[in-house]
Structure 1
Amino acid sequence: MIFGIICSAVAGAFISVQAAVNAKMNTNLGAWATTVLVFIVGLVGSIIPLVLFGGNIAGLRDLSPIYWLGGLLGVGVVYCVMRSIQILGPTLSVSLILVSQLIWALVVDLYGAFGMPQITLSAGQIGGLTILLVGVILFKQSQTAAIAKQAVNEATS
C-alpha cells in the first residue's frame, strides 16, 4: 500500500510539472508538435525499461481492441492539460483536472468498467466530492482576490 501511495504522489508531481513544461513548449512549437514530441520522447523512455526489465509484448494480440484506446486517450490528456494550463493557469487547471479525475474514477468504480471491481456509492463519497468541489471554488476565489489585491498594490506604488 505504501508503494501505491508513493507512486500516486510521484504521478501527481510528474503530471503537474509535465503540464507546465508542455504548456511552455507549446508556445514555441504549437500544440500538436508538442504533443508529438512528448509521445516520441515517452516512447523512447518506455522502450528502455521494457528492454531492461522485460514485458509481455506477445500479449498484445490477446488484448481487447478497447484497451488500445489508452494511447489515444493519452494524446487527449497531453493536449487538454497543456491547453487548460495555458488558458486557466497551473493551479486552477490542475484543481479542475483532479476533480474530473476523481469523478470519472468513481464512475469506473461504480460500474466496474474495464474489469475493475464494482463498488456502491456511499454518502461519504458524495460528501468528499462536494468538499473537493467547494475547495476548488474557494481556492479560485481566493486566488482571484489575491491577484486583484496585487494589481491594486502595484498600481498604487
Structure 2
Amino acid sequence: MKGVIFALLGGACITLQGVANARISQDIGTWQAATITQLTGFIISLVILLIVRDGHFREYRKVQPLYLIGGAFAAIIIFNEVTAIQIIGVTLTIAALLIAQLAFTFAIDAKGWFGVQKKKMKWPHYAGILLMVTGVIILKL
C-alpha cells in the first residue's frame, strides 16, 4: 500500500510540474522553464540529502556511467511535456506520457533490459495497454 501512495503522489507531482512548467515557459521560454525546474529540484534534493543523510557518495563508482546521467533525461522530459501541453493540453499530454511510460517499461520488463529481471508478458498486459490507448483516442474525440 505504501508503494501505491508514493506512486500516486509522484503522479500528482508530475502533473503539477508539467502545468507549472508550461505556465513558466509561456512567460520566459521552454528551456528557461526546464533550467528553473532542474535547479529548484537540485536545491530541494540537496537540502533533503543533507537532512536525511542516507547512502554514501563514495559508492558512486559502483554505478554504471549510463545510469549516472539519468537526471539529464529530465531536461528532455520537461521540454517535451511543456511543448505537448501547449499543443494538445494537459489531459492528453499526461495520458500520452503514461502510455509511453507504460509501453517502455513493458518492453524493459519483457526484454530484461537494464538488469531488470525478465518477465513473461501475457495477453492481459497487452489488453491493458490497448485499453489505455483506446481511452486516449476517446479523450481526443
TM-score bucket of the superposed structures, by smaller chain: over 0.9
RMSD over aligned Cα atoms: 1.0
TM-score by length of 1: 0.86
| 1:33 shift after superposition | 1.1
- Which residue of 2 is the match for residue 31 of structure 1? 30
Alignment of 1:1-150 (within 5 A): 2-54=1-53, 55-141=55-141
Render the CA deviation track for 1:48-83: whole Å, top value 9, x for unaligned: 111111132112122111102311111111111111
Larger radius of gyration: 1
Render the CA deviation track for 1:74-129: whole Å, top value 9, x for unaligned: 11111111111111100011111111010001011111122212101211111111
- Give every structure 1 segment of 4 or more consecutive aligned residues whose post-TM-superposition deviation is greater than 3 Å: none
- Which residue of 2 is the match for residue 145 of structure 1? none
How many residues get paired?
A: 140
The answer for unaligned runs of 5 or more in structure 1 is 142-157
TM-score by length of 2: 0.95
Render the CA deviation track for 1:9-59: whole Å, top value 9, x for unaligned: 011110111100100000111111111111111110000111111132112
Identity of aligned residues (%): 26
CA distance in 2, matches of 1:117, 1:7: 22
